[in-house]
Structure 1
């Protein structure tokens, strides 16, 4: 049972702001040379900005009063040159930073996607696919502005504040002190506000994830929705999800927008204090008019970086919720660990043994109870029993999609926990009842079983399972697009292609989970011949509810309530007149009555 649904808010483990920030900044390391270049450009911009008020002071005090036209032209030329250099540097830094940001987002998304691929089935059992997509796509995209501002805003603006403050104290220490008296008030207000803002953006991310999961699920099940004329009801649910998202966004923005009035009020108050105190000093002749003019310019230069840093801090807090959701998944350790010390699985001969295996998808609710059996190489074993008895669970443990709670699963005497996962699974072929085809051609879907397969090998595999004939009747044959999840094909056709894919893989251990359940009787007779060829010389597990298809298996194991209650050949189990006999006869009578 999934721990989270499309209508349920996800519980995300909160991380400390410092931890999130340091992890985000670490993604800049591969680009440190380019970042240094951008910082140099930002320093050029900063120096150009710092020099302008000084040049203005010289112009006012030395050239305007004396009406020195030549000096004024020189000063104007210097200012123009500084602005051109600043403009070019600004453009170049933004262009380079955008490239770096895009590469960082690519790296994060790739790292997240690769990590998710390594996670166990239990991870996907616990949450809707749409919510996983929300993190891979939406949450990663949300970090774009954060990275670009980290370099172009945080570092250069901090240097600007320090430089401007030093110049202000050099010009007039008392005026400088007056201008920064409101900073403590600003910092207290902003840090107190960020606690509310972060929690509100966390709620927004949760609601957006819910909407994404709901939309993905509803479109995946559109045939069911239309079949049961459920469009109005599902539209109401969608509207409710959208309204939840809108309300959470408005609530987050409401607190978020308190940032700017606080900063603007602090800046305005500081400006009033500077004008008031500057006027007093000018009356006593303590400062010149040029100094006051320069100081007012520097005051603006002091507060603009503070405004920019406050904006960056606001962006940081806003996107911490997204980063938190990304890092939470990255910090999940796979239940199935492939350790570096695990040995490569040699060519599998086919001995499979369960030793006192107990397993449950939830540890306190076991599905298998102390199961033990041993299969010889090349044997074909049928697993029979009621739905939910544990048949598919046995095959999942053989493939090590899950690890046992107790006991061991051995292949050729090697514990599956001690061998490399890829070397183990690459020697297995699995065909499930719920066949999955990718949005590609029939040819490429079959080739998924062997990525370097030639076209001749693909066609040969299709012919072996009698899929070739219907494929050639399609408009583009093997190059026919099957659409998402193979929706263009019938269920039986999808199953035949899936079977050809498994055949092409040429596995050492074969698992057929209700492999012929969706194929009509006439086609099944033909496919059964292909199955017999495939089963020959391989250890095979066949799960089937249609008992007529497993009569020739080397051994039939009857599973009920997570235990093996009977085992033997078809004839042996019929003679015992136990569970299998009753199941077989009931199915035989049902088919006769239906006929």
Structure 2
């Protein structure tokens, strides 16, 4: 936590934020000018009031009174206009800056390795991209510019006080250190409190996001009461963190009001005694002016303390966001090869890989897939089947060895070019909260409605889609919740098919679907694998029998390789797996 606290105003971070302000420098300077004008207009009203009391009311000069009143109206109108421009454009600048940073952050997140997401909380990343971004915007809209404006007001007010009556100014300045000291203590306490608030907000977001996503598991295992208690504990910590900030505010602001009231009392007392002793009626205006000026001197100081908290929260948020932006967790995309047509020849040569540095998952995998072949990969859970899929797509970098496509190392391909030629249908299908058409095309302009319908008819899923309300425009809601698991699988098959890949990877998932959907999936599998290189993580005997080659994996190694008949003749690992997993299915 201490590392996150840093300094209240980190010039290094602010300088970095200013880089994002460069496209909006005219607005930045305009807001700064409005802040300067506000400082000038603020002190003009008390000065004019003093003039009205001393030179118009006490002398009963009605014409001067009218002129001074009109002057005050002009000052107030100017102050209102400047305040309006200041508030609007300071907020506009803040929103524009965070829009740019949020886009940059999202692009940065999309280029991360899968390993980064394996080790990161999704709820925490959402907090960084949404809540923390808003805090950064508040640095400009409610923090920095407001503080600068208030500081300018205080400097101008103090200067006017000294110039007008240095003795009354000394009374005000004598009280000022007390408020400054209280403000400093308040800032230190609030800095720590707001760090705790941000931490608890992140914890709360992460917890809620995970439980809502996994609500089926929570209900299936009757974890409602246990999760409710956990949430109550996290929510209690969140509440206490916020109450700490409320407590500090409750102490500071009454103290600030008392100090301000004491100052006003001293001004009236000393100015009144001076006036009585000198019998000088002109001092009445000065007393009135100093009462207003002292309030203007102390009020910004109280506001600065509050805005300083906003600035602190913004700086902490900026630090956290920039930590993500500074994270170097990208797959190196330094390849230059781009091929319009890939045949689909795949070669793994002594590939070693581990998700963790000291735990190797693949131990020297080597195999060759000829273009157009269908290869099935079988093995027990954890054998390394899905890892092969991840490595071919360069979701992860291999530790050693090489992977080649058409004789070219995949590192030499441009990443977008390589992945555009590979389509994957995963066992756990992910669909967006959108229409079926958009989930299939992923809003690729090159894929028209006609292309979608033709492809759907070719793999036999058109009738199923048209049976849904709205057909291709049916909104399947978040994660495809309006569809069954089999229907989601069919959509995933069609999504892969319309991309016209050179290499197809299928993680068959028909074990939990109904018979009708399974038949459609089998037909889709036959059509989609026709004429292209296909790697299938097999769960069904029919797929295995039709494969040109079967790779049998165990504990990160290829232990056997061959056709279905060849492997059965070897009477080894595959035969045992076949008898345990597939023989019953064949009999049925």
TM-score by length of 2: 0.89
The answer to whether 1:346 aligns with 2:358 is no
Secondary structure of residue in 1 paired with 2:21:
helix
Q: 2:140 aligns with which of 132, 147, 154?
A: 147
The answer to whether 1:42 aligns with 2:35 is yes
Structure 1 segment 130-145 matched on structure 2, within 5 A? 130-145=123-138
Shifted more, 448-457 versus 270-279: the winner is: 270-279
Q: Which residue of 2 aligns with 1:307?
A: 302
Cα RMSD after superposing both structures? 3.0
Q: Which residue of 2 aligns with 1:424?
A: 418
Q: Structure 2: how far apart are the matches of 1:222 and 1:284?
A: 80
Q: Structure 1: how far apart are the matches of 2:380 and 2:158?
A: 79
Q: Structure 1: how far apart are the matches of 2:552 and 2:462?
A: 35
Q: 2:402 aligns with which of 408, 419, 429?
A: 408
- Cα offset, 1:25, TM superposition: 4.7
Q: 1:365 aligns with which of 359, 367, 373?
A: 359
Q: Which residue of 2 aligns with 1:466?
A: 460
Question: 1:581 and 1:249, CA in 2 relative to 1: closer, same or farther beyond 3 A?
Answer: same
Contact 2:42 2:153 in 1 (8 A): no
Secondary structure of residue in 1 paired with 2:210:
helix
Q: Structure 1: how far apart are the matches of 2:408 and 2:521?
A: 33
Q: Which residue of 1 aligns with 2:99?
A: 106
- Cα offset, 1:126, TM superposition: 2.0
The answer to whether 1:53 aligns with 2:60 is no
Q: Structure 2: how far apart are the matches of 1:120 and 1:486?
A: 25
Structure 1 segment 158-307 matched on structure 2, within 5 A? 158-261=151-254, 263-268=256-261, 270-271=263-264, 274=267, 278=271, 289=283, 290-307=285-302
Secondary structure of residue in 2 paired with 1:474:
coil
Q: Structure 2: how far apart are the matches of 1:115 and 1:217?
A: 23
User: 1:283-325, CA deviations, whole angstroms, 9 ceiling, x for partnerless residues?
Assistant: 7759961434433332222222222222211222244443343
Q: Structure 2: how far apart are the matches of 1:13 and 1:462?
A: 52
Secondary structure of residue in 2 paired with 1:551:
helix
Shifted more, 40-49 versus 479-488: the winner is: 40-49
Runs of 5+ consecutive residues of structure 1 not aligned to the other structure: 1-9
Q: Structure 2: how far apart are the matches of 1:111 and 1:570?
A: 50
Shifted more, 143-152 versus 273-282: the winner is: 273-282
Q: Which residue of 2 aligns with 1:453?
A: 447
User: 1:220-241, CA deviations, whole angstroms, 9 ceiling, x for partnerless residues?
Assistant: 3333444444444433333333
Q: Which residue of 1 aligns with 2:331?
A: 336
Q: 2:25 aligns with which of 23, 32, 50?
A: 32
Contact 2:4 2:316 in 1 (8 A): no
Q: Which residue of 2 aligns with 1:7?
A: none
Q: Structure 2: how far apart are the matches of 1:428 and 1:592?
A: 32
Q: Structure 1: how far apart are the matches of 2:413 and 2:262?
A: 69
User: 1:64-99, CA deviations, whole angstroms, 9 ceiling, x for partnerless residues?
Assistant: 343222112211221122212222332233233333
Q: Structure 2: how far apart are the matches of 1:256 and 1:59?
A: 38
Secondary structure of residue in 2 paired with 1:481:
coil
Q: Which residue of 2 aligns with 1:4?
A: none
Q: Structure 2: how far apart are the matches of 1:141 and 1:51?
A: 35
Q: Structure 2: how far apart are the matches of 1:418 and 1:189?
A: 62
Q: Structure 1: how far apart are the matches of 2:444 and 2:48?
A: 72
Q: 1:500 aligns with which of 470, 477, 494?
A: 494
Q: Structure 2: how far apart are the matches of 1:62 and 1:247?
A: 56
User: 1:160-186, CA deviations, whole angstroms, 9 ceiling, x for partnerless residues?
Assistant: 222222222222345434433444454
Q: Structure 2: how far apart are the matches of 1:447 and 1:485?
A: 16
The answer to whether 1:439 aligns with 2:433 is yes
The answer to whether 1:78 aligns with 2:71 is yes
Q: Which residue of 1 aligns with 2:548?
A: 554
Shifted more, 402-411 versus 70-79: the winner is: 402-411
Q: Structure 2: how far apart are the matches of 1:65 and 1:482?
A: 78
Q: Which residue of 1 aligns with 2:387?
A: 393
Question: 1:162 and 1:417, CA in 2 relative to 1: closer, same or farther beyond 3 A?
Answer: farther
Secondary structure of residue in 1 paired with 2:428:
coil
Runs of 5+ consecutive residues of structure 2 not aligned to the other structure: none
Q: Structure 2: how far apart are the matches of 1:257 and 1:410?
A: 67
Instruction: Give the length in aligned residue pairs.
Output: 583
Contact 1:259 1:314 in 2 (8 A): no
Contact 1:491 1:518 in 2 (8 A): yes
Q: Structure 2: how far apart are the matches of 1:498 and 1:266?
A: 69
Q: Structure 2: how far apart are the matches of 1:584 and 1:162?
A: 86
- Cα offset, 1:583, TM superposition: 0.9
Contact 1:449 1:504 in 2 (8 A): no
Contact 2:138 2:314 in 1 (8 A): no
Contact 2:538 2:544 in 1 (8 A): yes
- Cα offset, 1:345, TM superposition: 2.8
